[in-house]
Amino acid sequence: MTEKKKDKKERSKHKRDRELADIRCVAKTPEGRRFVWRILSNAGIFRINGIQESIGMARFEGRREGGIEILNDVMAAKPALFGQMQEEHASEKKREDIIDDKEKTERDPLSLTDE
């Protein structure tokens, strides 16, 4: 291997290590994990493409591909991170649902029994 190729390979490895370290740093806080989860959700990685029109389908798939790249980086940086974010999201959603139900009951006490 030539010296130039070796240097380029080392720079590439250093850059990748820094990218993964950045993800681990962001993931240290609940706020950072929520931010990454929101990016993944907004990218549509948890949805199936139901768009029939070709431009819309291409836009959806392009956005989704970017999200999958971020997910792959998350998994490379810290494999347990995705599961942790999933659990935190589910817990937060459950709290929000409880609050929504409570508010709905306070507005109309019979509303939960009508469903």
The total of structural domains in the chain comes to: 1
Note the pLDDT tens digit of each residue in 18-38: 999 999 999 999 999 999 999
What was the pLDDT predicted at 3? 87
Name the pLDDT band for 113 (thresholds 50, 70, 90).
low
Note the pLDDT tens digit of each residue in 70-87: 999 999 999 999 999 999
Give residue 77's domain range. 9-107
The reply to whether 64 falls in a domain is: yes
Provide mean pLDDT across the span 103-112: 72
The reply to whether 112 falls in a domain is: no
Q: Is the pLDDT confidence value at 69 over 80?
A: yes
Select the more confidently predicted residue: 3 or 14.
Answer: 14
Tokens matching residue 44:
């549509």
The reply to whether 115 falls in a domain is: no
Instruction: Report in angstroms the alpha-carbon separations of 47 from 24, 37, 44, 65.
Output: 26, 14, 5, 12
What was the pLDDT predicted at 107? 77
